[in-house]
A and B are shown apart, each in its own frame.
Chain A
Amino acid sequence: MKNLLIVDDSKAMRMIIRRGLSQSSLRDYQTEEATNGQEALQKLRMRSYDLVIADWNMPEMSGIELLKTIRAESIMVRFGFITSEGTEDIRNLATSCGAEFVIVKPFTTETLDAVLMRMELK
Chain B
Amino acid sequence: MTSAITPKHWLTAARAAAQEFASTTLGLVLTEAVPGSEMPEDLTGCFVALVGDEDSIQIGFATNASGCQCLAKALFASEAELPNEDVYDALGEIANILAGGVKMRLASAHSQLAIGLPIVMEGHLRVTERQVLVAEDFLLDQVAIRLLILCGREA
Q: Which residues of A contact B (CB under 8 A)?
A: 10-13, 15-16, 19, 57, 59, 83-89, 104-108
B111 at the interface (CB under 8 A from A): yes
Residue ID in chain A nearest B90 by CB atoms: A12
Q: How many A-B residue pairs have CB under 8 A?
A: 58
CA gap between A108 and B107 in the complex, in Å: 23
Contact status A12-B72, CB under 8 Å: yes
**Besides the known contacts A83-B100, A105-B25, A106-B20, 19 further A-B residue pairs in the complex with CB atoms under 8 A apart:** A10-B90, A12-B72, A12-B76, A12-B89, A12-B90, A13-B93, A15-B77, A19-B77, A57-B96, A57-B115, A57-B116, A84-B100, A84-B115, A85-B100, A86-B103, A87-B104, A87-B107, A88-B107, A104-B104
Does the CB pair A12–B100 fall under 8 Å? no
Q: Can you list 5 contacts pairing A with B, beta carbon distance less than 8 Å?
A: A10-B89, A12-B93, A16-B25, A16-B75, A57-B96
Interface size class of B (residues with CB under 8 A): 20 to 34
Which residues of B approach A to under 8 Å, CB–CB? 20-21, 24-25, 72, 75-77, 86, 89-90, 92-93, 96-97, 99-101, 103-104, 107, 111, 115-117
Within 8 Å CB of A86, what residues of B?
100, 103-104
**CB <8 Å contact, A106 and B104:** no
Tell whether, in the assembled complex, residue B24 and residue A106 are in contact, meaning their CB atoms are under 8 Å apart: yes
Cβ contacts under 8 Å, B96 to chain A: 10, 57, 84, 105
On chain B, the residues within 8 Å of A10 by CB distance are 89-90, 92-93, 96
B92 / chain A contacts, CB cutoff of 8 Å? 10
- Measured between beta carbons, the chain B residues less than 8 angstroms from A108 are 24
Chain A residues contacting B75 (CB-CB under 8 Å) are 12, 16
Task: Give Cα A19 to B76, complex, Å.
Answer: 10
